[in-house]
Chains A and B, each alone.
Chain A
Amino acid sequence: MRSDEMIKSSQRLTRRAAVMLLSAAGACTAAHAADIATDALPEPGPERKVSIPAARDATLPNGLRVVVVNRSVTPLVSVALYLRSGAEVDPSRLAGLTDLTAGLLDKGTTTRTAPQIAEAADALGGSLGTGAGYDASQVSISVTTPKLGAALDLLADVVRHPTFAQEEIDRERKQMLDDLRLALSQPGSVAHLVAARAIYGDGAYGHSAGGTPASLPRIQRAAIVKLHDTYYRPDNAVLVFAGDVDLEHAVQVATSAFGDWKAPATPLPVTPAGAGKSVLAPAVSVDISGTGQAAVSAVHRGITRNDKDYYAGLVTNAVLGGSYSARLNEEIRIKRGLSYSAGSALDTRRQAGSFGGSAQTKNSSAVEVLGLLLGEFDRLATAAPDADELAARKATLSGNFGFRLETTRGLLGEVADLALYGLPLDELARYLERVQAISAEQVRDFAKAHLGRDGIQVIVAGDAKQFADALAKAYPKLERLDAATLDLDNPTLRPASKKK
């Protein structure tokens, strides 16, 4: 009985599917969709336009910029205060200082203890998130609309009045050291830490933002207080709101919480150079003895966030490895089963950036996967993608952008990115047209400029006895490191006392 009905149902499906395949040959682009007959699988209906909310801003008299993007679908607001200074300002022997400082903000103020702050945030329904990337430090919280005023007061208290008690410094430092131990035991995070030195060398972006086992114990309270005094000031800050709030309401709560925050008369120090010179060999292996996979990564110095080619970079990344269907995953996972996931990343910062691909694979496949990564870089740098592929990957990029705008946190992230890099807020509304405007030739040219063999850095972290010798055949100057003895403070990654 089942089989009879199966046949029936599949006959029904056959008719539609035959056309389905036709449309697939046209890769579902709008241009081909018109070929579909009306009695077949219907073509997609008319597109509905995504509505992009407009961001607005105001600057308080003390220099604090307030940026607001309204989305009132749900009575929720996400809010974050960003300082335009991140780990790039860590002094040279004090890696992790900026991140540690941010992490200590909610660990005690002049009027609240750390447990009281946690209690207050939880009672508002949110959690304070603190931390520092390379270009910014931040504190954020998401709450329901009625709690917004109270959330801003809490946010202002931790930003403006932290006490940095010694006991809290010691506790936070210990936790960061343990976080580092976890990071140094995982192939992906080890490759990431090593890649920073490989790309940026002794530049500020080359060091570990989360600190190092040697640097964290060196950090004294005075350095934390000085960093806070220097960089936590209203004219170095942006307060971003996303969700059920308008500009007027945001300015009102911002003024109440931050209005009397004063900027010091002293100018901000000059930011150290982000990108320096790499002293590592073009290929590096890092041993994590006994680990079950190797993280394979090939990366290049890249563009800044404000580069004119930013959108070309986004689309190139989308074609190369920005999604499940992009080339790297297609070649490495789908066709060959060599990884659970392979992809690429375009990282754009204020002073420099990086572009490259990565995948985790069984240790014995590491060299094969590296070859596939590099082969795809070359292919993209040589020939422009065809129109269907380009249209599909642009659609993925644009669709993901739309989905990000559906949550207050996603919306906040998009707007904060513009605000932090000093870009016009109406770029939010221009995103889709800017992506559409990128041509196949621009993609090829971007790949040629930023994925060429010259300047590429290869990092393979895993159980090195299973791949390092094979890797050395392709890279006779392979640099062999061990995760257990990595000196992250040193651009050579080797302990200073030992000769290379």
Chain B
Amino acid sequence: MLRRLLICLGLTTAVAVSAHAAEPLSIPPIAYQQRSLANGLQVISIEDHTSPTVAVQVWYHVGSKDDPAGRSGFAHLFEHLMFKSTKHLKAEQFDRLTEDVGGHNNASTNDDFTNYYEAVPSNHLQRLLWAEAERMVNLTVNEDNFKSERAVVEEELRQRVLASPYGRLFNAVPKDAYLVHPYKRPGIGSIEDLEAASLSDVIAFHSTYYRPDYATLIVSGDFDRAELDRWVDTYFGPLPKPAAPVPHVTAVEPAWDKDRRYSEHGPNVPLPGIVLAWLAPAARNADDVALSVAAALLSNGDSSRLHQALVYRQQIAQRVNFSSDTQADNGLISTFAIMASGHKPEEAEAAIIAEVKALATAPIAPAELDKIKTKIITQALAQRQTAEGKAFAIGEAVLLKGDAATVNSDLAALQAVSADDVQRVLKKYVLDAHHVTIDYTLGLDKPGDAKPAKGATK
């Protein structure tokens, strides 16, 4: 519920940031202003006086991929600790500054970033800016805070992975799929690694990654521009830019040179499941938008191809999804199905591959392409109804694509996606590439125990 881990795996539809207006429908671009402070902090603001509220978000360019060695889950655990004490704030005082005055707050940890976000009545904007600057530099977590919050994160792990019937499957996907990239490690971590973490890890992580030149501040909603600029300069301007460079993940996931197959199990699997995954390009790759259209044609909406084929016509799957989760470095194009009772994972595998082949090779009707563009645009419009929704759209553009402008330019790109583009990217990244297959059935293996199934690799 709160302070949740963003698990970037298929369960959500692949609409994300790209959005756009086909002919009859047009979304106005998000009108934002951007500037940088001398210490490197990027500041993006979107003025919107519709409601007397304002969203404040700080997106740090550090995520689960930066978990220290032997400390899987650390970036996420750290995110929780940012709500504990700082030099001038008591533990949970962020809740006093938000919930107690009619606002809300939360944070999430992704592979590539960690974002802290609040929305409050706009007369509280100044205090929040002060408080965000404060926790960027003055975190003072103590041993008690640390241990109790670590226990919370362990419960979060139990809830997401161990008590949820498909939690073990989704937790295993990056581990099985990636060969070398640290995206491999599950962002929620393991109980063992969480237990191994210490307060000194917290201090080191904060001073390494939490700094103005590694953060993007986004303010969206009801503010006065001159006031906002003054407050940002006052509170964030004096924060030091450390001399030491920020360490970056340099591992490069190689192209996969063969198909691989894994079997995962859980003690409580009501219906078997399957995941197929291919390596995606980085989010900033020009093919990203075409891939998101391909994924939407396959599984966005009841009339999408996979839903019609597997759930409606063949009735072999209880649900099916296909998404292109591109990330800062690369990502996964993945599909999962939960089988209908009486059906086996391999039936879904064959049916999914057949549908992808059909989409990639047979003519695509213009009406189908128009339909999916309208659908994506309408969903984007719904997201952009609120100041907070616009801030999220900008944040993802900055953190995943490296450029706020893509929040608007992707609209044009979406409109321009042709049937040929869809087919080209499907061939390149899916049909002509190797993939990983993970089936999931009832069994008593411990989580994290997956072994390649016999004779399955080629």
Contact = CB atoms under 8 A, between A and B. Distances in A.
Contacts of A142: 378, 382
Contacts of B238: 5, 8-9, 12
B123 A28 contact: no
A119 B96 CA distance: 47
Interface in A42-75: 42, 44-50, 73-75
A181 B270 contact: yes
B123 A21 contact: no
B71 interface: no
Contact of A395 (B101, B161, B302): B101
A403 B162 CA distance: 33
Nearest to A243: B385
B382 A17 contact: no
Contacts, number: 279
Interface string A314-339: 00000000011100000001111111
Given A47-B123, A187-B163, A125 B239 contact: no
Given A178-B340, A340-B159, A399-B101, A185 B239 contact: no
Interface string B125-137: 1110010011001
Interface string B1-30: 110000000000000000000001100000
B374 A123 contact: yes
B203 interface: no
Contacts of A472: none
Contacts of B338: 182
Contacts of B163: 186-187, 291-293, 360, 462
Given A9-B240, A45-B126, A178-B271, A398 B102 contact: yes
Contact of A292 (B93, B151, B162): B162
A121 B102 contact: no
Given A325-B100, A337-B148, A362-B155, A171 B315 contact: yes
A478 to B, nearest CB: 22
A24 B382 contact: no
Interface residues of A, number: 96
Interface stretch (B58-66, B84-92, B325-333, B410-418): B84-92
A333 B301 contact: no
A17 B134 contact: yes
Given A74-B381, A339-B152, A407 B386 contact: yes
Interface stretch (B49-57, B255-263, B420-428): B49-57
B87 A17 contact: yes
Nearest to A335: B148
B156 interface: yes
B264 interface: no
Interface in A24-47: 24, 27-28, 41-42, 44-47
B88 A18 contact: yes
A144 B23 CA distance: 13
Contacts of A224: none
Given A125-B377, A337-B151, A360-B155, A186 B303 contact: no
Nearest to A7: B240
Contacts of A291: 162-163, 267-268
A59 B334 CA distance: 49
B268 to A, nearest CB: 5
Given A144-B25, A178-B318, A125 B375 contact: yes
A399 B120 CA distance: 8
A341 interface: yes
Contacts of B124: 44-45
B357 interface: no
B451 interface: no
A50 B88 contact: no
Contact of A6 (B2, B25, B137): B137
A337 B155 contact: yes
A340 B239 contact: no
B155 A122 contact: no
B213 to A, nearest CB: 12
A121 B130 CA distance: 46
Interface in A105-148: 106, 114-115, 118-119, 121-128, 142-144, 146
B316 to A, nearest CB: 11
A211 to B, nearest CB: 15
Contacts of A398: 102
Nearest to B222: A48
B367 interface: yes
B102 A395 contact: yes
B97 A119 contact: no
5 contacts: A9-B137, A123-B371, A182-B271, A334-B148, A403-B119
Interface of B: 1-2, 24-25, 50-53, 87-90, 92-93, 95-97, 99-104, 119-127, 130, 133-134, 137-138, 147-152, 154-156, 158-159, 161-165, 167, 207, 222, 238-240, 242-244, 267-271, 300-304, 307-308, 311-312, 315, 318, 338, 340-341, 367, 370-372, 374-375, 377-379, 381-382, 384-386, 444
Given A186-B165, A362-B158, 16 more contacts: A42-B126, A44-B121, A44-B127, A45-B125, A73-B50, A121-B303, A122-B374, A124-B374, A181-B341, A185-B165, A289-B267, A334-B148, A337-B155, A338-B155, A360-B163, A406-B50
5 closest A-B pairs by CB: A292-B162, A17-B88, A399-B102, A337-B151, A290-B267
Interface of A: 1-2, 5-6, 8-10, 12-14, 16-18, 20-21, 24, 27-28, 41-42, 44-50, 73-76, 106, 114-115, 118-119, 121-128, 142-144, 146, 171, 174-175, 177-179, 181-182, 184-187, 288-293, 323-325, 333-341, 343, 360-362, 391-392, 395-396, 398-400, 402-403, 406-409, 462
